[in-house]
Structure 1
Amino acid sequence: MAAISYDNEAILKYFADRRKIDFPLLADPDSKIVRAYQVLNVEATGQFKGMARPGYFFIDPHGVIREKFFEAKYRERLSGNNVVAKLFPELGEEVTNSVEAPHLQLTVAQSDRIAFPGNRIVLTAEVRLSSDVHVYAPGARGYKPTNLLITPIRELQLKSAVYPRSKILYLPAIKERVPVFEGTFRIRQDVQVPTSADFSNSLGADGKTITIAGELEYQACDSKICFTPASVPVQWQLQVLPLDRQRAPEDIQHK
């Protein structure tokens, strides 16, 4: 992993030393690479002229761009761990916790324990089912479909939950075909930290911790019986810190 910036080497070294960054920061003071990747922020002027729109490219060993992640609004961006979670789900979980749940194993996780205004992180609910158990997927009729419900929070913006592809199970006893989940699957939900001045000011110097709560609804069945629908509380803790607005020393700043 590497980051490219229109800042010069001196600014990047100052920033990396102060923030203890241990991955490469590459200087592109003439914005040649920024232009080559077509991410130049043409609206930026003054000391910000030449900067890129923030985002991520996933490039394979052959130099081919396989994925890119950019947001429509300049101030909003996926966290690095969120990108990793989307590309490699098993690697992008910074915090995990097991939750007691009937008829299945439930683990909740999050891509980041710490976020900043503008960050988008991802919350995950991972379900593990034994080989003879299934749960109903969204769209099932007459049963309780699996549903991750996050309680709305005034301070955060909740995106739509993303469910994996279900399979169709034929129930010969009642001659029905229903969508189900089997084995191990993940439900993901992105959460956007706002960038408004009011929210940023509310963080103070030390930031604050926000509790994200909700529940996982589902109905499990094995080869012999369908169990009573269940609803299991789930919870995540997110620490939000203020943006680092400290600038580099004046003698190395953009002129």
Structure 2
Amino acid sequence: MDSKRADFARRGLNVAAMTYDPPAVLAHFSRRKGITIPLLSDPGSKTIRDFGILNESIPKDSFAYGVPHPGTYVIDERGIVTAKYFEPDYRDRVTAGSILLRQFTSPAGARVFERKTPRWTLRTFASNDWVFAGSRITLALEIELGPKMHLYAPGAQGYIPIQWTAGEAKGWVNFEPSYPPSETLHLRAIGEKAPVYRRKVRITRDIKAGQTRELRAMAGSGNRLVIEDSLRLQACDDKKCYLPENVPLRWELTVSPADSTRVPAGVK
């Protein structure tokens, strides 16, 4: 969250984090990591309980009792929760970059790679240039079509719809692509209707990094995770359809090491 603080601020959101840890522990962590967002202490996990996210599976005599199910809330100026991001496994996290992309459809400073043809321009980017163990990030495709061009959307019958196919998951979990709503093309000459995309379309797909051992095994000494997918599409104009195309997709991400440093015993 801290690394994306400025990106949230540009969109009118302030960022803070809350934990059951006492202020001295949070102050030590903030200094060590250079954290600039407010870190709020929740004595007795009162607010955590009020939100209904206390992890009840932890025994009351455990040092970790009071830990919440980790997640992120987006709250508007009236104090109303407009979105929330939680994962089933307490080790997993939706990244701040992914939240920015989902909430504001903005790559927020991400590296954008572009490929052009006479009929379309494809831009690819990711919500994050890095992953850590259990992080859930978002990959994105943006296709800008030329004048009078269209692509058939998923569900089109008798035509070749656009299809994003995930490659083999090696150290991560693949999620299905999310396609936007389409519009209806009326093919009056043949009396048919078909779902299509025109002008510009954005498709997203999440991946979730495995835990530390899986990531290390796949990233190797270079600490790089390579994701290779493919995109199948057929561009058409108001007179004809062009040959289908299979476009290779590639993202290369840095694997960030886990931080296992503990707070000194005297800090509490």
Question: TM-score, normalized by length of structure 2?
Answer: 0.87
Q: What percentage of aligned pairs have identical amino acids? A: 33
TM-aligned CA deviation for residue 22 of structure 1: 2.0
Greater mean alpha carbon deviation, residues 201-210 or residues 96-105: 201-210
Aligned residue runs from structure 1 range 94-113, under 5 A: 94-113=110-129
Q: Which runs of 4+ in 1 moved over 3 A?
A: 200-207
Q: Aligned to 2:140, which of 114, 117, 124?
A: 124
Deviations 1:132-185 (A, max 9, x none): 111011111222110111211221110111100111101122221111011211
1:28 matched to 2:28: no
Question: 8 Å contact 1:81–1:93 — kept in the other structure?
Answer: no
The 1:170–1:54 alpha-carbon spacing in structure 2 relative to 1, beyond 3 Å, is same
Q: Aligned to 2:99, which of 70, 83, 87?
A: 83
Provide structure 1 residue ranges, at least 5 long, that are not aligned to the other structure.
none
Letter in 1 for 2:71: G
TM-aligned CA deviation for residue 24 of structure 1: 1.5
Question: Which residue number in structure 1 is paired with residue 9 of structure 2?
Answer: none
Aligned residue runs from structure 1 range 24-173, under 5 A: 24-45=38-59, 46-92=62-108, 94-173=110-189
The 1:102–1:215 alpha-carbon spacing in structure 2 relative to 1, beyond 3 Å, is farther
Letter in 2 for 1:57: Y
TM-aligned CA deviation for residue 192 of structure 1: 0.8
Deviations 1:203-232 (A, max 9, x none): 899772111112211111112221111111
1:252 is paired with a residue of what secondary structure? coil
Question: TM-score, normalized by length of structure 1?
Answer: 0.92
Question: 8 Å contact 1:136–1:146 — kept in the other structure?
Answer: yes
Tell me the distance in 1 between the aligned counterparts of 2:74 and 2:216: 34
TM-aligned CA deviation for residue 17 of structure 1: 2.0
Tell me the distance in 1 between the aligned counterparts of 2:183 and 2:236: 15
Greater mean alpha carbon deviation, residues 140-149 or residues 103-112: 140-149
TM-aligned CA deviation for residue 241 of structure 1: 2.0
1:180 matched to 2:213: no
Deviations 1:36-68 (A, max 9, x none): 111111122422111111001111110011111
| Pairwise CA RMSD | 2.0
Question: 8 Å contact 1:200–1:242 — kept in the other structure?
Answer: no
The 1:219–1:205 alpha-carbon spacing in structure 2 relative to 1, beyond 3 Å, is closer
Question: Which residue number in structure 1 is paired with residue 265 of structure 2?
Answer: 250
| Matched positions, count | 252
1:177 is paired with a residue of what secondary structure? strand
The 1:73–1:231 alpha-carbon spacing in structure 2 relative to 1, beyond 3 Å, is same
The 1:107–1:132 alpha-carbon spacing in structure 2 relative to 1, beyond 3 Å, is same
Provide structure 2 residue ranges, at least 5 long, that are not aligned to the other structure.
1-14
The 1:103–1:22 alpha-carbon spacing in structure 2 relative to 1, beyond 3 Å, is same
2:52 is paired with a residue of what secondary structure? coil
The 1:165–1:148 alpha-carbon spacing in structure 2 relative to 1, beyond 3 Å, is same
Tell me the distance in 2 between the aligned counterparts of 1:231 and 1:238: 23
1:11 is paired with a residue of what secondary structure? helix
Question: 8 Å contact 2:171–2:218 — kept in the other structure?
Answer: no
